[in-house]
Structure 1
Amino acid sequence: MTPPVSAPSGRLLPLLLGTGALLVLGGVALFWLASAQNQPQTEGAVPVTVTATACEPMAIEVPAGPTRFLIRNASDRPVEWEILNGVMVVAERENIAPGFSSVLSERLKPGVYDITCGLLSNPRGKLTVLATAESAAETAAPPLRELIGPLSERKVQLMKAAGKFARATQALEQAIAAGDLAAAKTAWMRAAAEWAGLGTVAPQAADLQNRIAPQAAWLAGREADHAFTGLHRIEYGLFARASLDGLAPVAAALTGDATAFQARVKALDGTPAGIAGDAARYARTLADAIAAENLAPYAGEDHALLAAALDTLDRARAVLDPLLSAADPAQAVRVKTRLAAAHAAAAAVPLDRQATADALNAAAEALAGINATLGLEP
């Protein structure tokens, strides 16, 4: 017979209650610590609030060199925040959810830049970067001759990729004109993948980028907005509405923009620091997009687009690998390993969005460290 279970004695009861309270407090402390570690590091960051209509403040002044911005979304929809030099995106954070903040770190050169403030139709602010003695010394430093070869190789890669994208948009236009929905979907996937492979250079033609692939969430009228054009407008018609109605002129305009983009890439003068810097920036952008489910919001073909995007990051790494391996073999292995991990995460079925975003951010961090090792920044 099982003996009866007796209640704790009066002397033990306070001890048990005290122990339980300590465990609860310990759990709370651990939760607070873990939460604090997951928060973006905001000390010393320049605060920027994006509202539904503007930035607060609309004019910012910082010294040249490394700067961190804390961007808070005070609007009711996801936003992007960009620093623009003419039509070229210098730095950006995308898909910041309403009520959330994101930290952007960038090394800025002296000059006056535009900043975007939420919707593409909103007025732009101004960012003035003031010269310092350190920035003047950097400007006077000669370029590294050893990087001329990798820079030329990367330029050829991007020119070929731009040509493939232009031809893919022509095929998409033809399929839509022929009234073949199935063929148009296949052609769209090819064009979208080719565009994903141009993600490192696309921000350098931001005017064309905003016509080729604007997100509906960035436009006042969303899918009904007249500025909702290009790949995502066609994707919306083909996959969300299963219709070719109204897509012929959109496809024709996309072909024209793709041809103009090809010419723009051919005319661009890249910089040695841009090879790794642009790759790191694109990896962070991909992490934001995959976490927010904005890579292919209507087609749901994230795996194919991620594969194409990661291929261009690999090619950027590969052109620098001989120099990086000579300068720091361990770092060269680390960059390659983290990109391989991002490939593996992106190929997993089903796709774990958070794991993929984490792997992409880790790859971005590794890519961002290349310039310092190669002497392209102090």
Structure 2
Amino acid sequence: MSARPRPLLLGAGTAIAVAVTLSGCTQKASSEDGAVSVTASDSVCEVSKTELPAGHVSLALENKGSKITEVYVLFPDGRIAAERENIGPGTKATLVTELKAGDYEIACKPGMKGDGIRQKIALTGKDTAAERSPESDAAVAAYRSYVLAQAEQTLPRAQAFADAVKAGDIEKAKGLYASSRIGWERTEPVAESFGDIDPKVDVREDGLEDGQDPTTDWTGWHRLEKALWQDKKIGDRERELADQLMTDLNAWVKKVGTAEITPTSMANGAKSLLDEVARNKVTGEEERYSHTDLIDFKANLEGARRSYDLLKPIAQKNDPALAKELGQRFASLTGQLDAYRTDDGADEDSYTYTSYDMVSEAERKELSDGVNALAEPLSKLAAAVAK
């Protein structure tokens, strides 16, 4: 997961007023192509419209600030409806999503920290979900089943890992650590959409908010990873954290069935998984103690590929050239990554890869280039399925 925390939950009962401008948020003219313009700086989040029709929404994003930023569309309770991360200074991006009628917030997060600068918006009109094609409905239903299956399969693996920690068996816990995360990594965008679960189970120490104490506020997999590989000890606190991890993961599994899933959220989620690889896995930041980054990389790539495979019939109909390119890019990057695989390949749910500290800088650059080659066309998938 990224170093920054997810948006703070506002609470299900929080009232959202329509078209109210927050401090630092203003309105500006729409972009010429009809997309809603969102212009971010280090202190301002300008949104061109605060009321727009429900259905497919295109946001034209521009970062005029000095810091990397990200833009979220949030439900009233703080869950993520859509997001675009890693928008560098002076760059533009597009976010295409599908939103039902209702109240939302757009949040720009300069520096990718805090709650962001927020603008309330309202979507009006009829729900377009009923107008989806049979192919779209089939893709959404299949992906929902996939996400739920991945969540449910994570629990026994995570429990085995937690049990090893509680038993004080460092070597066994090390051996179970990476495999316990595969289901989470495959479906991370859905897990992150709930806002409160991700910071509990998958945040790194440098992702804590200012004022949070690592000794008391840092929980989840990476806190235990540090204890196992760097501290090389398991104490009472680690045993408590193992139980807390399972409590939080069980809460995640219960919520998965309620996730808002649309064809565009699937496409955006696939792109988000590639962004995770580029930002954290290829750099070696994610698994800085265990160096199991390539296993996370593989799981992220599989999750992105699953979304694409389910959306492929729609993409082939609307943009056959894009569909063909994506198929080729996915195959190429999978081949690049699997050159580092160290098991026999028989079990797709239990694989091992070269320790990432043994991967040279030149090899990391090649992997990074492969990720970028896929990420660029993948960023167009949401627009293709929304046609």
Gaps of 5+ in 2: 1-36, 50-56, 341-358
- The reply to whether residue 48 of structure 1 matches residue 41 of structure 2 is yes
Measure the CA separation in 1 of the matches of 2:214 and 2:252: 25
Measure the CA separation in 2 of the matches of 1:126 and 1:68: 14
- The reply to whether residue 312 of structure 1 matches residue 303 of structure 2 is yes
- Does structure 2 retain, via aligned residues, the 8 Å contact 1:71–1:104? no
Which position in structure 2 is the counterpart of 1:25? none
Alignment of 1:207-222 (within 5 A): 207-219=196-208, 220=210
- Does structure 1 retain, via aligned residues, the 8 Å contact 2:182–2:295? yes
- The reply to whether residue 159 of structure 1 matches residue 148 of structure 2 is yes
Code of the residue aligned with 2:169 in structure 1: it is D
More off after superposition, 180-189 vs 236-245:
236-245
Larger RCO (CA under 8 A, 6+ residues apart): 2
Measure the CA separation in 2 of the matches of 1:226 and 1:348: 40
Which position in structure 2 is the counterpart of 1:324? 315
Q: TM-score, normalised by structure 1?
A: 0.72
Structure 2 SS opposite 1:200 = helix
Q: TM-score, normalised by structure 2?
A: 0.71
Which position in structure 2 is the counterpart of 1:239? 229
Which position in structure 2 is the counterpart of 1:20? none
- The reply to whether residue 362 of structure 1 matches residue 366 of structure 2 is no
Which position in structure 2 is the counterpart of 1:14? none
Superposition deviation, residue 65 in structure 1:
2.8
Which position in structure 2 is the counterpart of 1:87? 79
More off after superposition, 260-269 vs 87-96:
87-96
Which position in structure 2 is the counterpart of 1:344? 335
Aligned mate of 1:276, from 267, 281, 284: 267
Which position in structure 1 is the counterpart of 2:60? 67
1:129-164 Cα distance to aligned partner (Å, 9 max, x none): 576xxx969959822232111211111111010011
**Structure with more of its chain in helix, by fraction:** 1
Code of the residue aligned with 1:330 in structure 2: it is A
Aligned mate of 2:240, from 240, 249, 255: 249
Measure the CA separation in 2 of the matches of 1:95 and 1:180: 42
- Does structure 2 retain, via aligned residues, the 8 Å contact 1:280–1:363? no
Q: Report the count of equivalent residues.
A: 315
Relative to structure 1, is the Cα distance of residues 119 and 280 closer, same or farther in structure 2, using a 3 angstrom cutoff? closer
Which position in structure 2 is the counterpart of 1:199? 188
- Does structure 2 retain, via aligned residues, the 8 Å contact 1:48–1:72? yes
Code of the residue aligned with 2:138 in structure 1: it is G
- The reply to whether residue 290 of structure 1 matches residue 281 of structure 2 is yes
Gaps of 5+ in 1: 1-43, 50-55
Superposition deviation, residue 128 in structure 1:
3.8
Aligned mate of 2:167, from 174, 178, 190: 178
Measure the CA separation in 2 of the matches of 1:45 and 1:348: 41
Which of these two proteins has the greater Rg computed from alpha carbons?
1
Structure 2 SS opposite 1:317 = helix
Measure the CA separation in 2 of the matches of 1:119 and 1:227: 19
Measure the CA separation in 1 of the matches of 2:194 and 2:137: 23
Relative to structure 1, is the Cα distance of residues 89 and 221 closer, same or farther in structure 2, using a 3 angstrom cutoff? farther
Code of the residue aligned with 2:307 in structure 1: it is A
Superposition deviation, residue 210 in structure 1:
1.2
- Does structure 1 retain, via aligned residues, the 8 Å contact 2:318–2:384? yes
Measure the CA separation in 1 of the matches of 2:69 and 2:206: 10
Which position in structure 2 is the counterpart of 1:36? none
Superposition deviation, residue 73 in structure 1:
5.9
Measure the CA separation in 2 of the matches of 1:328 and 1:282: 22
More off after superposition, 236-245 vs 192-201:
192-201
Measure the CA separation in 2 of the matches of 1:224 and 1:141: 47
Code of the residue aligned with 2:227 in structure 1: it is G
Measure the CA separation in 1 of the matches of 2:267 and 2:201: 24
Aligned mate of 2:104, from 98, 111, 114: 111
Structure 1 SS opposite 2:48 = strand
Measure the CA separation in 2 of the matches of 1:95 and 1:324: 25
1:286-326 Cα distance to aligned partner (Å, 9 max, x none): 21223543221211111111111111112112222334345
Relative to structure 1, is the Cα distance of residues 103 and 251 closer, same or farther in structure 2, using a 3 angstrom cutoff? farther
Which position in structure 2 is the counterpart of 1:229? 219
- Does structure 2 retain, via aligned residues, the 8 Å contact 1:112–1:129? yes
Code of the residue aligned with 1:91 in structure 2: it is E
Structure 2 SS opposite 1:316 = helix
